[in-house]
Structure 1
Amino acid sequence: MSVLEMNLSELLNKPKVTLAALRGTRRILLRRRDDEDLVLTTAARAEQEHEVMGAVGRLFVEMMRASQGRTLVLDVLPATFPWVRYLPTHDVREFSVELVEALQAAVELDNTAAVAQLITEWRHTAEVHADPELYAALTTDSGEDLGPVPKPGAAA
């Protein structure tokens, strides 16, 4: 994917030059000093990407409805997400089902945030399984109650 990087100030100071550069690239990554970077693309390209992602999501969902498709998905998951090798077999199946459900919802909502979150959560689960010390620490019941957990951001 061709991406041209520039500072947001270039778009603000030279909008015609910056937008002309969009003709020769798929996107412009606009770097911002004190905030999240932005991506600039054409409406036609954004619509094409939306259509493709929707089609891929629907295709994946329909594949999972067929037993051969479920088997194929389980076979290719380690190539797609190498970290699933650290998950127990039943967790790999659960991940595949949750992934399909999240993709189906993402297509309907036109929002992929939940899919990205699901992948991140399962990757972290695989990280725990990959580290025997961490796994033992998180799964061993010491029998000791350490009291209430403070709310995030509250002083400990």
Structure 2
Amino acid sequence: MPTENTAVNFSELVNKNKQTLARLKESPRLLLHRRDGEDLVLTTAARAEQDQTVVSAATRMLAAMARREPGSMELLLDILPDAFPWVRFLPEPDVHAFAVELVDTMRAADSVGNNASVAQMLIAWQHTAEAHSDPELLAALTADRSEDHGPVPDPRDVA
């Protein structure tokens, strides 16, 4: 039984819906390519509920582990580079801040059943790590820019 997503064109779902939906028995998800919009993922309600249950359980376990003393935060900090190799580019205080924010954001997102904020937080921290990985970019971003260049025009007024 394959575990990878099966990709089909959205038109296949519209034109051959029974045959296309039958493919959900072979694959947990169907990736529906659309010409005029973002691709969609189709799965069964049972599979979506299972996925959410797994994410919620992992979140609760991670949060519980992070709250335990002694040494739980050190363990989390030790395993972060395995899960997120890019944290190696972050300064040490930022790695700790990332770990705390990750646990807190995952708990909050789980409480409302929406993981979009976790994904956005991970992307933001990864971009921060990317900036730290490039010495020239980091220097440009952290240079003292104390000189005043005057007021910034409202972009809506610029033609």
Band of TM-score, shorter chain = over 0.9
Q: Which runs of 5+ in 1 are unaligned?
A: none
Determine if the alignment matches structure 1 residue 62 to structure 2 residue 64.
Answer: yes
Which residue pairs with 1:101 in the alignment?
A: 104
Look up the equivalent residue of 2:36 and give its one-letter code: D
Calculate the TM-score normalised by the size of structure 2.
0.91
1:113 to 112, 116, 127: 116
Give unpaired runs (5+ residues) of structure 2.
Answer: none
> Aligned equivalents of 1:153 and 1:2: distance in 2?
46
2:45 aligned partner, one-letter code: A
Aligned pairs (5 A) from 1:21-100: 21-67=23-69, 68-100=71-103
1:21 shift after superposition: 1.0
Displacement of 1:152? 7.2
* SS of the residue 1:74 aligns to: helix
Q: Aligned equivalents of 2:124 and 2:155: distance in 1?
A: 18
For 2:117 and 2:152, the matched residues in 1 are separated by 26
C-alpha displacement at 1:150, in angstroms? 5.8
Cα distance in 1, alignment partners of residues 108 and 76 from structure 2: 19
Question: In the aligned structure 1, how far is the partner of 2:103 from the partner of 2:97?
Answer: 10
What is the number of residues matched between the two proteins?
156
TM-superposed CA distance for 1:101, in Å, is 0.4
Match of 2:126 in 1: 123
Residue 39 to residue 133, structure 1, CA distance change in 2 (3 Å): same
Between the aligned partners of 2:138 and 2:65, the Cα distance in structure 1 is 33
Greater CA drift, 110-119 or 63-72: 63-72
Tell me which stretches of 4 or more aligned residues in structure 1 moved more than 4 Å: 148-156
In structure 1, what residue type is equivalent to 2:119?
A
Amino-acid identity (%)? 54
Q: Deviations over 1:98-152 (max 9, x none)?
A: 0000000111010111101111111111111111111111111143223445667
RMSD value over aligned CA atoms? 1.8
Counterpart in 2 of 1:3?
A: 5
Distance change (3 Å), C-alpha of 1:125 and 1:151? farther
